[in-house]
Amino acid sequence: MKEVILEYIKNEYLDEDEADEMSLDEHSPLITSGIVDSFSMVSLKRFLEKKYAISIPDEQATPEAFNTVSNIVELVKRHKKEA
Amino acid sequence: MAYPTAVLEAYRAELQGIRDKGIYKEERYIHSPQASGIEVEFPAGAGLKKVVNLCANNYLGLSSHPRVVAAAHRGLDERGYGMSSVRFICGTQDIHRELERKLTEFLGTEDTILFPSCMDANGGVFEAVLNDQDVMIADRLVHASIVDGMRLCKAMQDTYKHADMKHLEQKLQEHQDKRVRLIITDGVFSMDGDLAPLDEIVALAEKYNAMVFVDDSHASGFMGKTGRGTHEHFGVVGKIDIITTTLGKALGGASGGCVSGRQEVVDLCRQKARPYLFSNAVPPPIAYAALEVLDILSGSTERRDKLEENTKFWRQGLTEAGFVIKEGDSPIVPIMLFNAKLSQDIARDLYAEGIYVIGFFFPVVASGQARIRTQLSADHDIPMLKDALEAFKRVGAKHGILGLDKKGIIEKFGL
């Protein structure tokens, strides 16, 4: 799951030259570093919901919950269990 | 009345947080009309300083033009000061409709509706014409007012990487099941000064059956051979479904904005757009002055030609001096410094030299992309810009950045 989400973030949010320069892992800050802003975060939420057949309530789609891939994995796992 | 201590303390802590981040905004008081040369009191209480203004949106130098000022006086004399009503009750004068007609003609669209500002136009238009069966696909660097307008709308939100046509195409393919696909972009991007490739965007819109929205606030009046905007620059006049723009920048600089485009879009805004329905129109002096501005621009391209000449001189001068600038065709010329503190230090030193510019850094621009944004005006002249360039060179030399590329500046100052 980690790899799939990392791959999505690279394709969706980084320019080609940035993707080459930047080493992104599951602990890299996404929101606080400005890679993903609140405006473009919606497509990430939609991707996760579709890919993992879950529904993330808006109040849980916080900048903290989406700030690292490891946080995102945790959020997705929690919802998959509930589903 | 209740103003609990806990709330007061929370507000103070929030304000302190803004100060601690170094992003607390302070106003500078200008004691003269808006122009390329102004008298500024900064910090508050300091003596007046004459400076060259390189940070106004006064692209055509019309903010204090004698003909525009005289027209505003005439508006005041002939139609009064205010309307004391929203448009659809008793707040529409003949001149408001006349201005809408003239803007339609100028922008090459079907109809136009005025708003109190372009911020309001962007705040109202999406909700008025889209519903939950639709999708808005926006460039990631669009203006904050568009982001706010999109948030007020029930249509699905999506974004594409800045000016990345491959990514936009992918998104258009993804959303083929929607009733309306609306591509949303600025014409000229305010922080980078680059242009949305409207010819390619229109081609994609035609291929994937999408509508196109352009906020041309930083282009109306001067981009394109006759200054009609970014759509003229790219040869797609008549192919943009919705244009929003402002009267608060090149077109006189006071206030007011509009939605211009397809007849039905404008009609729906007149029925449903909340900032239009629940606020007053621009007052008569502004309507008169804006009509005069359009008259000046329709009569001659002299001012946009001079702006183009000034822009070429400035871009070439900065490049030859060894600054890193964002390439482009617009009169917005960002000087890239990457490091936030460096942008503040250089802006301060330039002010001491009599040059008024502002340093921008995260979160106004992306992290590690700090810059000084300079903006040209037809009110500048070449001798004035030559002097300004010398000041930039002195300050650039003082900080040892002349001739350094991005890597060199980051190595020297960090990010």
pLDDT of B324-361, one tens digit each?
Answer: 999 989 999 999 999 999 999 999 999 999 999 999 99
Residues A15-43 have a mean pLDDT of: 82
pLDDT of B290-319, one tens digit each?
Answer: 999 999 999 999 999 999 999 999 999 999
pLDDT of B3-29, one tens digit each?
Answer: 999 999 999 999 999 999 878 888 999
Binning pLDDT at 50, 70 and 90, where does residue B195 land? very high
Name the residue with higher pLDDT: A37 or B92: B92
Q: What is the pLDDT of residue A37?
A: 84
Q: Which has the closest alpha carbon to B231: B261, B256, B252, B258?
A: B261
Q: What is the pLDDT of residue B138?
A: 98
User: For residue B162, what is the nearest residue in chain A, using CA coordinates?
Assistant: A15
**Which token pair is A5?**
């989400």
Q: Is A15 on the interface with B (CB under 8 A)?
A: yes
Q: Are B268 and B113 in contact (CB under 8 A)?
A: no
Q: What is the pLDDT of residue B363?
A: 80
- Confirm whether the ipTM is greater than 0.95: no
Active site residue B190: yes
CA–chain centroid gap for B171, Å, is 26
Count CA atoms closer than 13 A to A71's CA, side-chain side: 15
| Interchain CB distance below 8 Å, B140 and A39 | yes
| Interchain CB distance below 8 Å, A34 and B367 | yes
pLDDT of B214-247, one tens digit each?
Answer: 999 999 999 999 999 999 999 999 999 999 999 9
Report whether pLDDT(A20) > 70: no
- A33 chain-B contacts, CB cut-off 8 A: 367
Q: What is the DSSP string of B186-226?
A: ESB-TTT--B--HHHHHHHHHHTT-EEEEE-TTTTTTSSTT
Q: Which has the closest alpha carbon to B401: B352, B349, B351, B333?
A: B349
pLDDT of B108-125, one tens digit each?
Answer: 999 999 999 999 999 999
Distances (CA, A) of B287 to B75, B87, B98, B164: 7, 14, 9, 38
Which of A11, A21, A40 is the best residue to mutate to test the B interface, defined by the most B CB atoms within 10 Å of its own CB?
Answer: A40
User: For residue A32, what is the nearest residue in chain B, using CA coordinates?
Assistant: B367
| Interchain CB distance below 8 Å, A34 and B140 | no
Q: Under DSSP, is residue B113 helix (H, G, I), strand (E, B) or coil?
A: strand
Active site residue B249: yes
Report whether pLDDT(A35) > 90: no
User: Whole-angstrom distance between the N-terminal and C-terminal Cα of chain B?
Assistant: 47
The pLDDT mean for chain A works out to 87
Q: Cα-flanking dihedrals φ and ψ of residue B14, to 5°? A: -65, -45
pLDDT of B47-80, one tens digit each?
Answer: 999 999 999 999 999 999 999 999 999 999 999 9
Report whether pLDDT(B180) > 90: yes
Distance CA B130, CA B329 (A): 33
| Interchain CB distance below 8 Å, B140 and A43 | no
Report whether pLDDT(B212) > 80: yes
Name the residue with higher pLDDT: B18 or B261: B261
Q: Which has the closest alpha carbon to B372: B351, B387, B397?
A: B351
Distances (CA, A) of B144 to B90, B114, B191: 32, 20, 12
Name the residue with higher pLDDT: A79 or B33: B33
The pLDDT mean for chain B works out to 97
**Judging by beta carbons within 10 Å of its beta carbon (0-12, 13-18, 19+), is residue B402 exposed, middle or buried?**
middle
Q: How would you label B56-83 residue by residue, b for 16+ Cβ within 10 Å and e otherwise?
A: bbbbbbbbbbeebbebbebbeeebeeeb
CA–chain centroid gap for B313, Å, is 22
Percent of chain B topping pLDDT 90: 95
Binning pLDDT at 50, 70 and 90, where does residue B1 land? confident
Q: What is the pLDDT of residue A21?
A: 67
Distance CA B415, CA B410 (A): 6
Which of B136, B137, B161 is the best residue to mutate to test the A interface, defined by the most A CB atoms within 10 Å of its own CB?
Answer: B161
User: For residue B143, what is the nearest residue in chain A, using CA coordinates?
Assistant: A39
Binning pLDDT at 50, 70 and 90, where does residue A83 land? low
How far does the CA of residue B361 sit from the closest CA of chain A (Å)? Answer: 12
